[in-house]
């Protein structure tokens, strides 16, 4: 029998932002490479730095493949997209990835012009629910301490914080 990774359509869901914009949440797909590259172009250096805890000057083809061709049983990347005229535009990506111990590392990145519209809270809540449905026991993130917006979202979701060093804070939430 072949090792076919079935696309998890159960994680496709429309949501509405605070300003009324309709956004489609869906799992990332291996064919999303071109959209991933376009999305990278909508991010400031600060947004990339905050997401990856360091600067990535250009997204390589190998990294695009790694980020879009995932094992849906061990990780999930949720794309947030809007419809513009005849095409879809990726405006955010949230990701959880297993560390082999029934826990998942969590991160989101939102295009700069879509920040402050409630999408971070929506993606965080959604990925917590996805992690629970995938039977993970814990979700965690490492966040720059200066990233007050993300830390506030995690605080409202009742994550527990531990300062790692002068620059970073570790946040975790038990799911069971």
3-state secondary structure of 7: coil
pLDDT of residue 47: 63
Model pLDDT for residues 100-128, shown as the tens digit of each residue: 779 999 999 888 889 889 999 999 999 99
Q: What is the pLDDT of residue 2?
A: 42
pLDDT digit string, tens, across residues 130-175: 999 999 999 999 988 988 999 999 999 999 999 988 899 999 999 9
Q: Is residue 151 part of a domain?
A: no
Tokens 């999305």 sit on residue: 39
- CATH number, domain of 66, equals 3.40.630.30
Q: Which two tokens stand for residue 70?
A: 């995932």
Does some domain include residue 164? no
| Residue 42 within a domain | yes
Residues 3-22 have a mean pLDDT of 88
The total number of structural domains that make up the chain: 1
Q: Decide: helix, strand or coil at residue 38.
A: helix
Per-residue pLDDT, 49: 54
Q: Is it the case that residue 18 has pLDDT exceeding 60?
A: yes
| Through-space distance between the first and last CA atoms of the chain, rounded to whole angstroms | 34
* Residue 100 counted as domain residue: yes
H-run or E-run covering 22: strand 22-27
In a domain? residue 60: yes
Per the domain annotation, does 148 fall within a domain?
Answer: no
Residue 162 lies in a domain: no
Q: Which residue has the higher pLDDT, 100 or 82?
A: 82
Provide the residue range defining the domain that includes 69: 9-136
pLDDT of 30 > 90? The answer is no
Joined tokens for residue 4:
């076919």
- In this predicted model, what pLDDT tens digit does every residue of 34-80 receive, in sequence order? 777 676 666 666 666 556 555 566 666 777 777 788 999 899 999 99
Q: How far apart are CA 41 and CA 43, in angstroms?
A: 6
Burial class (CB in 10 A: 0-12, 13-18, 19+), 120: buried
Compute CA 42 distance to the chain's CA centroid, rounded to the nearest angstrom: 16
Residue 167, domain member (yes or no): no
Residue 67 pLDDT: 78
């Amino acid at each position: 029998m072949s090792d076919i990774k079935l696309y998890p359509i159960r994680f496709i869901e429309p949501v509405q932002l605070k300003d009324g914009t309709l956004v489609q949440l869906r799992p990332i797909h291996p064919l999303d490479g071109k959209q991933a590259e376009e999305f990278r172009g909508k991010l400031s250096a600060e947004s990339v730095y905050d997401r990856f805890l360091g600067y990535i000057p250009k997204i390589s083809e190998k990294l695009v493949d790694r980020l879009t061709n995932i094992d849906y049983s061990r990780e999930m990347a949720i794309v947030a997209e809007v419809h513009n005229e005849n095409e879809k535009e990726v405006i955010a990506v949230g990701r959880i990835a297993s560390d082999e111990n029934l826990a998942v590392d969590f991160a989101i990145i939102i295009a700069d012009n879509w920040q402050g519209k409630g999408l971070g809270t929506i993606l965080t809540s959604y990925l917590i629910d996805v992690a629970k449905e995938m039977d993970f026991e814990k979700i965690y993130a490492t966040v720059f301490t200066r990233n007050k917006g993300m830390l506030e979202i995690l605080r409202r979701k009742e994550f527990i914080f531990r300062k790692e060093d002068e620059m970073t804070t570790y946040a975790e939430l038990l799911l069971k």
